[in-house]
């Protein structure tokens, strides 16, 4: 039976009525933290081969000079193409923030990477318009974030279980809503933007562990921007595309949760409650508790790689099914391989984007330790449910010991155990290392932390794209 709803109309009303003054202090504080995290990831991602291919393709296509590309200098490309590159860059390391859900019915718990699509759309449209200030960008970001997260929360988990990648599908609505808000779309044009977004939404999980996985988010940004721009020109779509027998919820997820949908958009804002998780590691969020557990085990016992005989990893299907590579051959597969991630912690005692290099992952030490790591579906863990990410590590040592460590269910980076501001700044600097110099890092960090106060959006975008103030002055002469 098809559910009747007016969720599209609710989304339109929310986007239209929200003002900067409506945003609570908590939302602004968390929003700035999400932006610091995301901007750092644009920088780190700009160095990835996948992003460089996309940047070269966008520059070769040419077209309107709407917005620059991360790490590519002053040359500008059409807004939608820029969105593809920026969005892929932000998700290239799988290190961007994740939406939180407390609903035990959500088998995979954390549903979408919410910040990259709306922030990408907001920065690119602001760059194109040239007259948007930091408050405008913050408002557009918050609106897109909320629309994206509520759609994701209300969908039945069947969407993800069927193989859809929520950050690609639902992320399209986040980008469309942010772009539409900044462009001032209302009424019929706003409805058309959401209708176009519904047909553009795409991304399937078979491509996890490949360059195409981050491209899902890049395409969400590209398609969301395209939806808003076409709608602004009068392009039409169904005005209730989320609802009805052939609407997004029905086709992509076999319905939605009616009780949760009664909550409505913004009551409260998802960014405040249940919140958002900032990732400590550049890998799937479902792996982080286990990686922290392995790090604790290694440090507590001062465990050396040469002392390890075998690793046994026990977990439920909520980890084992999506984290699917038994032995990773490259850094992209390693993000979805528990043997690779645990081996990385044992060998390096950390896992930053500097460790996620093909040569290291394919090297003898990593391949050998991965082959000596068993991933075991623990039925007792499964029986406890999927409201939390539970796992246990047992390490057999060559001298006959068995070292055991359970993962902490309060994962680091989540609302109950957040990374503090100094830790977040350290992550930003790690991402910016080798991309921009230290003075530029501090300038950019200050601009993002004060984005809705006094920030110069043009300068902020220039720093991400690698345009120096001197080069810009010369170009203007």
Residue 279 pLDDT greater than 80, yes or no: yes
pLDDT (average), residues 443-466: 94
Answer with the one of 342, 371, 406 that is the final residue of a domain: 406
Answer with the one of 381, 406, 431 that is the final residue of a domain: 406
* Shared-domain flag, residues 204 and 245: yes
CA 389/CA 291 separation, integer angstroms? 12
Evaluate whether 447 touches 456 at the Cβ level (below 8 Å): yes
* Shared-domain flag, residues 255 and 321: no
Please report which confidence band the pLDDT of residue 103 belongs to, taking 50, 70 and 90 as the band edges.
confident
* Shared-domain flag, residues 36 and 144: yes
Q: Tokens for 207, please give them.
A: 């491509």
The better pLDDT of the pair 371, 131 is held by: 371
Q: What's the confidence (pLDDT) of residue 472?
A: 57
* Shared-domain flag, residues 190 and 299: no
Q: What's the confidence (pLDDT) of residue 357?
A: 92
* Shared-domain flag, residues 355 and 247: no
pLDDT tens by residue, 62-82: 999 999 999 999 999 999 999
Please report which confidence band the pLDDT of residue 339 belongs to, taking 50, 70 and 90 as the band edges.
very high
The better pLDDT of the pair 219, 384 is held by: 219
pLDDT (average), residues 159-187: 96
DSSP assignment of 222-277 equals HHHHHHHHHHHTT----TTTTSSTTSHHHHHHS-B-HHHHTT-TTTT-TTTTT-EE
Residue 109 pLDDT greater than 50, yes or no: no
pLDDT (average), residues 118-139: 96
Contact partners, residue 49, CB within 8 Å, separation at least 6: 211
CA 165/CA 36 separation, integer angstroms? 24
Distances (CA, A) of 282 to 259, 288, 361, 429: 34, 9, 14, 15
Domain tally for the chain? Answer: 2
pLDDT tens by residue, 221-241: 999 999 999 999 999 999 999
pLDDT (average), residues 164-175: 96
Which CATH number characterizes residue 122's domain? 1.10.4100.10
53-62 long-range contacts, CB within 8 A, separation 24+: 53/211, 54/84, 54/85, 54/88, 54/215, 54/218, 55/85, 58/82, 58/84, 58/85
Which CATH number characterizes residue 350's domain? 3.30.1330.120
* Shared-domain flag, residues 197 and 231: yes
Q: At what angle do helices 7-17 and 134-154 cross, to 10 degrees?
A: 160
Structural domain span for residue 140: 7-277
Least confident of 94-103, 109-118, 245-254, 355-364: 109-118
Other CB atoms closer than 10 Å to residue 435's CB: what's the count?
20
* Shared-domain flag, residues 289 and 269: no
Q: Is residue 468 part of a domain?
A: no
Q: What's the confidence (pLDDT) of residue 464?
A: 97
Residue 102 pLDDT greater than 90, yes or no: no
* Shared-domain flag, residues 191 and 304: no
The better pLDDT of the pair 154, 388 is held by: 154
* Shared-domain flag, residues 184 and 290: no
Closest among 237, 165, 234 to 201, alpha carbons compared:
165
Q: What's the confidence (pLDDT) of residue 171?
A: 98
Q: What's the confidence (pLDDT) of residue 456?
A: 93
* Shared-domain flag, residues 302 and 170: no
> Which H or E element spans position 79?
helix 79-91
Q: Is residue 204 part of a domain?
A: yes
Instruction: Say what percent of the chain tops pLDDT 70.
Output: 96
pLDDT tens by residue, 346-387: 999 999 888 999 999 999 999 999 999 999 999 999 999 877
* Shared-domain flag, residues 75 and 199: yes
* Shared-domain flag, residues 112 and 52: yes
**What does the mean pLDDT of the chain come to?**
93
Instruction: Say what percent of the chain tops pLDDT 90.
Output: 84
CA 373/CA 367 separation, integer angstroms? 10
């Amino acid at each position: 039976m098809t559910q009747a709803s007016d969720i599209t109309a609710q989304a339109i009303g929310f986007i239209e009525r929200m003002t900067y003054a409506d945003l609570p202090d908590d939302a602004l504080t968390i929003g700035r933290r999400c932006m610091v995290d995301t901007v750092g990831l644009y920088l780190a991602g700009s160095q990835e081969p996948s992003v460089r291919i996309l940047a070269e393709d966008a520059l070769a296509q040419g077209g309107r000079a709407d917005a620059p590309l991360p790490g590519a200098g002053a040359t500008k490309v059409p807004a939608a193409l820029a969105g593809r590159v920026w969005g892929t860059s932000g998700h290239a390391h799988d290190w961007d923030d994740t939406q939180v859900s407390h609903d035990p019915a959500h088998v995979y718990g954390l549903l979408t990477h919410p910040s990259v699509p709306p922030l990408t759309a907001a920065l690119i449209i602001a760059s194109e318009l040239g007259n948007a200030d930091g408050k405008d960008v913050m408002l557009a970001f918050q609106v897109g974030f909320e629309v994206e997260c509520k759609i994701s929360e209300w969908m039945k988990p069947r969407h993800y279980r069927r193989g859809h990648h929520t950050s690609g599908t639902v992320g399209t609505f986040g980008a469309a809503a942010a772009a539409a808000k900044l462009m001032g779309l209302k009424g019929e044009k706003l409805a058309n933007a959401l209708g176009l977004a519904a047909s553009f939404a795409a991304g399937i999980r078979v491509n996890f562990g490949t360059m195409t996985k981050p491209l899902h988010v890049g395409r969400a940004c590209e398609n969301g921007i395209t939806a808003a721009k076409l709608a602004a020109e009068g392009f039409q779509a169904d005005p209730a595309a989320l609802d009805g027998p052939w609407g997004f919820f029905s086709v992509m997820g076999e319905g939605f949760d009616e009780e949760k949908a009664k909550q409505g958009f913004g009551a409260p804002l998802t960014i405040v409650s249940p919140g958002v998780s900032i990732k400590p590691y550049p890998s799937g969020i479902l792996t982080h508790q286990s990686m922290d557990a392995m790090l604790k085990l290694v440090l507590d016992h001062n465990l050396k790689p040469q002392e390890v005989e075998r690793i046994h990893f026990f977990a439920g299907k909520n980890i084992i099914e999506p984290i699917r590579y038994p032995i990773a051959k490259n850094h992209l597969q390693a993000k979805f391989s528990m043997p690779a991630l645990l081996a990385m912690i044992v060998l390096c005692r950390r896992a930053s984007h500097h460790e996620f290099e093909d040569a290291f992952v394919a090297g003898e030490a990593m391949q050998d330790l991965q082959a000596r790591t068993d991933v075991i579906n623990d039925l007792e863990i499964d029986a406890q449910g999927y409201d939390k990410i539970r796992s246990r590590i047992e390490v057999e040592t060559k001298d006959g010991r068995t070292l055991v460590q359970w993962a902490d269910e309060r994962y680091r980076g989540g609302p109950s155990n957040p990374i503090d501001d100094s830790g977040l700044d350290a992550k930003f600097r790690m991402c910016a290392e080798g991309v921009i110099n230290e003075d530029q890092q501090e300038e950019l960090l200050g601009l993002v932390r004060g984005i809705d106060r006094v920030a110069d959006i043009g300068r902020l975008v220039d720093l991400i794209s690698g345009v120096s103030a001197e080069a810009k002055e010369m170009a203007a002469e």
